A and B are shown apart, each in its own frame.
Chain A
Amino acid sequence: MLHLLLRHFTLLLGSTLLIGFIGVAWIGPTQMKYEPEKVSRNTYERPSKDYPFGTDKFGRDIQTRVVHATQLDLRIAFTVALISFAVGSVIGAIVGYYGDWLDAIVMRGVDVLFAFPSFLLAMVITGVLGDSERNVITAVTIAYIPYFVRLTRGQMLTVRTLPYADAAISIGNPSWRVALIHLLPNTLAPSLVQMSMVAGWAILDTAGLAFLGLGITSPTAEWGVMISEGAQRITTGEWWMWLYPGAALVLAAFAFNLIGDGLRNLLQQ
């Protein structure tokens, strides 16, 4: 009983958190008293009634910035998850269906990419492309495409041996059609789990890159940028500068991870 409750608790908690974040991203910005990039004379203010999360070195309201950043970070996470899934699973499906030399070549390439931690891959690619939201999305997406290629290919290899693949071919479907339209949908469930995980990783990677000064940069309101600005004051004790954006970042990633875990448990039943 406890077991069941806890299993669904994971999914429930994750979804609740994520819905909360989406709500904040949607409605939050209109509810704020300040502008995210508006400087003021009240620099380094501790959290107070006027500034619930305090202010930074330009006197900007941290709460406003955290709320505005929610929209940006969620947008990046969703975009990365969707594009890397779309591109990765189409490549994986084709490769898994046709097999042979195409499979050999593509999977070698995927192996080379896997030989490199995805964060570092994203870091180098962002460095190459330069700093912008689009570039950081591109870089992180490229880093996670291999995950979907490998996943969908593996699924495809098993699905393709099932009777309905033969059935689809025998009634005269061309093989690309069978691969993409008949077989791909059956590999979706595990991809959904993977997407949720990738969204969580993407949000951490984006913020991590911003923390290193890559991708999204100051003065944009982004969690990683804000943490990085706070880190400059780590030895002087202005903890509110990095604590709140960090907490938002970690909770968001936690939500995606919980959903991923919960979905996986659901599928394993």
Chain B
Amino acid sequence: MDMTEPLLALENLSVTITDNRGQSKPILQGVSFEIYPNEVMGLVGESGSGKSMTALAIMGLLPRRAKPQSGHIWFNGHDLLTLSKREWYAVRGSQLAMIFQNPRAALNPLMRVGQQVARVVRLHQSLKKRAAYEKALDLLQQVGIPDSQTRARAYPHQLSGGMAQRVLIAMMLACQPRLLIADEPTTGLDVTIQAQIFELIKTIQAEFGTTLLLITHDLGVVSEVCQRVAVMQDGKIQEVATVGELFAHPQHPYTQHLMNTLLRVDRPTNSRA
């Protein structure tokens, strides 16, 4: 670990969710970890361990029924939990951005993908409509979409999952956020495509110096892409370590268990809920 200030620091964050009957139960309990500028941080755990909720809390996109109860999310010297709705819209996109699993559903089905990228370009880089579209085409090319002129005119349902995820990454490039969160960006994609997408994320991270929080259940990916990693279970952080340390000496029994189960399986563990 180095001596610089963290870009993002979660401090004792607790979130509860209220169900239809008005009963609430905790989904995050005292979550704390830091992310430093320019690093790639992994967040691993099984499905339902609270990884995605952590990400949504950072983005201020928690579902309606989920409410932060205590703690802080420090970003750039501000506590994100105290932001007003209006302030959030200035932060999302330009400072923080996020890509999701199931990329095809994450794109507006009624809009051509080129337009979708272009309007993000316009939002964050004051460009004219025409110029923004040109820029969007550039971005689509940069993320490795062949024949981007034609593909830009496609609707999301006409793209493969891998292509759709590339479009989403192009959207993130248009934002140029300081922190990018990628929530299982390759779930449901072919293995070869998965590798390509991670390759792309790595390249972009190196090129633009974006800080990246990668959420995954795949420790293999973590070992390849991340520098540090946090392990989650039941809404709590069990262990934070560098990738080297973690793989050499897993401290927590849960981490050892996780390694035993997850390293061998190369498909999602969603069925375990």
Contacts and interface: CB of A to CB of B under 8 A. Distances in A.
Q: Do chains A and B touch in the complex (CB under 8 A)?
A: yes
Contacts, number: 6
B22 A269 contact: no
A269 to B, nearest CB: 5
Interface string B1-28: 0000000000000000000111000000
A1 B21 CA distance: 9
Interface of A: 1, 3-4, 269
Contacts of B21: 4, 269
B24 to A, nearest CB: 11
6 contacts: A1-B22, A3-B22, A4-B21, A4-B22, A269-B20, A269-B21
B19 to A, nearest CB: 9
Contacts of A269: 20-21
Nearest to A268: B20
Contacts of A3: 22
A158 B20 CA distance: 25
Contacts of A4: 21-22
A258 to B, nearest CB: 20
A269 B22 CA distance: 11
A1 to B, nearest CB: 7
A4 B23 CA distance: 11
B63 to A, nearest CB: 14
A8 to B, nearest CB: 11
Contacts of B20: 269
Give me the 6 closest cross-chain CB pairs, A-B, nearest first. A269-B20, A4-B22, A1-B22, A269-B21, A4-B21, A3-B22
Nearest to B19: A269
A256 to B, nearest CB: 25
B100 to A, nearest CB: 27
A4 B22 CA distance: 7
Interface in B134-151: none
Nearest to A3: B22
Contacts of B22: 1, 3-4
A269 B23 CA distance: 13
B47 to A, nearest CB: 25
A269 B19 CA distance: 9
A17 B20 CA distance: 26
Contacts of A1: 22
A269 B20 CA distance: 6
Nearest to A1: B22
A27 to B, nearest CB: 38
Interface in B27-42: none
B69 to A, nearest CB: 16
A264 to B, nearest CB: 13
Nearest to A269: B20
A3 B21 CA distance: 10
A1 B67 CA distance: 14
A127 B20 CA distance: 48
A175 B267 CA distance: 43
A22 to B, nearest CB: 30
A88 B102 CA distance: 42
A224 B196 CA distance: 72
A3 B65 CA distance: 11
A269 B21 CA distance: 8
A214 to B, nearest CB: 45
Interface in B83-128: none
B6 to A, nearest CB: 37
A3 B22 CA distance: 9
A4 B24 CA distance: 13
A267 to B, nearest CB: 12
